[in-house]
């Protein structure tokens, strides 16, 4: 928030009091939401593009820490496609895609692991821990968290989530820590695979019986017609998403989010949200104010 400094020139005591009243009003408005969500698990998929801007990334960290401090159980799941591509190029390897999916040979898998665990995961964990000792980084390889099966031999080590063992997350949450998960999975032989972070977030939310699944991305929400700002869908349900998919309204990038939302909602998650991660404090706005932002998806329309 960019409220003027208390001692900004030209501002009198009256203005400052008004400001203080407004702030108190905002905090009071948050009270019923804090009560509602206390003790609830919220899985947040943090997008590769939404985390590009360091200033917004810092606000994201504040929001997640605040959620933790008011008694929620936030779980952060992140991707890092652009960061993998960047590291590949720096190492002199040109990425190759088939139907929008990265062809992942053994060397690419090594690079993906370095980018996701060595860089992206560390950056998110460190920014959360600027505020205290809150976050703990994990990979889907840890303690059997993400079990995968190979998707297609042409793609190499690209895995689909086959089973989630949430036990390690439940332990971390009991310690009141925020798990930050890089979406690398393993198959039955222990081979590492790159996993789509949207799909992993949905599967983790279902396994944790999460209250909410949130996708922070780089658009305002789900559009009926991509490119037409006025067609933003503020509220829909599983049937609505299925219609959008069957009518071909959902394009690349949004497809795995929509599919995983449907899956998670059908497996016990109460609500899903697609929010604009570029908006400062998108999470606080959605959870603690009357002004919802983005698209909210319920199981069925009321
Ligand atoms: P992220 O890093 O968050 O996963 P992606 O680029 O993979 O970001 O996915 C978000 C993108 O999905 C948007 O930028 C948009 O171009 C695309 N998209 C496709 N269809 C839709 C739709 N119907 N509504 C909103 N976004 C859509
Ligand atoms: Mg994506």
Residues involved in catalysis: 45, 48, 81, 198, 257
In this prediction, residues 168-178 reach a mean pLDDT of 98
Output the pLDDT for position 13: 86
Choose the weakest-confidence range: 19-23, 125-129, 190-194, 213-217. Answer: 19-23
CA distances (Å), 240 to each of 250, 286, 295, 298, in order? Answer: 12, 21, 12, 10
Please name which ligand lies nearest the alpha carbon of 218. 1
Q: Are 118 and 91 in contact (CB under 8 A)?
A: no
pLDDT digits (tens, 9 = 90+) for 290-302: 888 899 999 987 6
How far is 38 from 22, CA to CA, in rounded Å? 24
Distance from the CA of 194 to the center of ligand 2, in angstroms?
Answer: 13
Q: Return the number of other C-beta atoms located less than 10 Å from residue 37's C-beta.
A: 19
Choose the weakest-confidence range: 15-24, 117-126, 184-193, 230-239. Answer: 15-24
Tell me which residues have their CB closer than 6 angstroms to ligand 1. Answer: 47-50, 79, 217-219, 222-223, 226, 249-251, 253-254
Residue located via tokens 């804090």: 34
The structure tokens listed for 250 are 């959902």
158-164 and 146-150 beta bridge pairing: antiparallel
Residue located via tokens 């930050």: 180
Q: Which atom of ligand 1 is nearest to the CA of 216?
A: 3
Q: Which atom of ligand 1 is nearest to the CA of 197?
A: 4
Does 300 or 164 have the greater pLDDT score?
164
- CB within 8 Å of 7: residues ≥ 6 apart: none
Q: Report the alpha-carbon angle 275-82-42, nearest 5.
A: 35
Where residue 146 falls among pLDDT bands split at 50, 70, 90?
very high
How far is 136 from 298, CA to CA, in rounded Å? 30
In this prediction, residues 35-55 reach a mean pLDDT of 89
Residue located via tokens 């079990």: 147
Name the closest-CA residue to atom 5, ligand 1: 253
Output the pLDDT for position 47: 83
Output the pLDDT for position 8: 54
pLDDT digits (tens, 9 = 90+) for 254-280: 999 999 999 999 999 999 999 999 999
State phi, psi for 236 to the nearest 5 degrees: -155, -175
Task: Go through the chain and tell me how many residues it has.
Answer: 302
Output the pLDDT for position 2: 47
Distance from the CA of 1 to the center of ligand 2, in angstroms?
Answer: 28
How far is 82 from 115, CA to CA, in rounded Å? 10
pLDDT digits (tens, 9 = 90+) for 96-111: 999 888 999 999 999 9
Confidence (pTM):
0.94
CA distances (Å), 217 to each of 1, 36, 191, in order? Answer: 21, 25, 30
Output the pLDDT for position 10: 66
The count of C-alpha atoms lying within 13 angstroms of the C-alpha of 284, restricted to the half-sphere facing its C-beta, is 21
Name the closest-CA residue to atom 20, ligand 1: 251
Q: Return the number of other C-beta atoms located less than 10 Å from residue 302's C-beta.
A: 5
pLDDT at 49 over 70: no
Q: Determine the 3-state secondary structure of 58 from DSSP.
A: helix
Name the closest-CA residue to atom 19, ligand 1: 251
Name the closest-CA residue to atom 7, ligand 1: 253
How far is 3 from 159, CA to CA, in rounded Å? 46
How far is 79 from 197, CA to CA, in rounded Å? 5
Q: How far is CA 32 from the centre of its chain?
A: 24
Q: Are 98 and 78 in contact (CB under 8 A)?
A: no
pLDDT at 223 over 90: yes
Q: Are 265 and 238 in contact (CB under 8 A)?
A: yes
218, 221, 228, 277: which to mutate for ligand 1, most atoms within 8 A of CB? 218
Distance from the CA of 31 to the center of ligand 2, in angstroms?
Answer: 34
Please name which ligand lies nearest the alpha carbon of 275. 1
């Amino acid at each position: 928030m960019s409220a003027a400094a208390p001692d900004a020139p030209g501002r009198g005591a009256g203005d400052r009091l008004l400001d203080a009243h407004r702030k108190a009003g905002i905090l009071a408005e948050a009270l019923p939401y804090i009560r509602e969500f206390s003790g609830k698990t919220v899985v947040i998929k943090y997008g590769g593009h939404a985390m590009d801007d360091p200033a917004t990334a810092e606000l994201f960290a504040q929001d997640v820490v605040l959620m933790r401090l008011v008694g929620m159980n936030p779980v952060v799941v992140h991707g890092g496609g652009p960061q993998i591509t960047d590291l590949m190029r720096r190492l002199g390897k040109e990425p190759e895609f088939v139907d929008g999916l990265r062809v992942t040979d053994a060397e690419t898998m090594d690079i993906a692991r370095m980018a996701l665990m060595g860089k992206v995961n560390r950056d998110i964990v460190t920014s959360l821990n600027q505020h205290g000792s809150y976050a703990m980084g994990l990979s889907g390889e840890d303690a059997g968290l993400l079990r995968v099966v190979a998707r297609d031999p042409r793609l190499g080590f690209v895995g689909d989530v086959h089973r989630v063992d949430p036990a390690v997350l439940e332990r971390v949450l009991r310690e009141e820590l925020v798990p930050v998960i890089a979406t690398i999975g393993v198959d039955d032989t222990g081979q590492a695979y790159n996993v789509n972070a949207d799909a992993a977030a949905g599967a983790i939310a279902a396994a944790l019986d999460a209250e909410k699944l949130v996708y922070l991305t780089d658009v305002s929400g789900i559009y009926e017609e991509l490119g037409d700002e006025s067609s933003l869908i503020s509220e829909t349900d599983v049937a609505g998403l299925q219609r959008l998919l069957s009518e071909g309204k959902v394009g690349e990038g949004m497809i795995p989010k929509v599919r995983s939302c449907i899956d998670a909602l059908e497996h016990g998650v109460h609500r899903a949200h697609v929010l604009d991660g570029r908006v400062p404090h998108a999470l606080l706005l959605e959870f603690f104010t009357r002004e919802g932002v983005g698209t909210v998806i319920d199981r069925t329309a009321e």
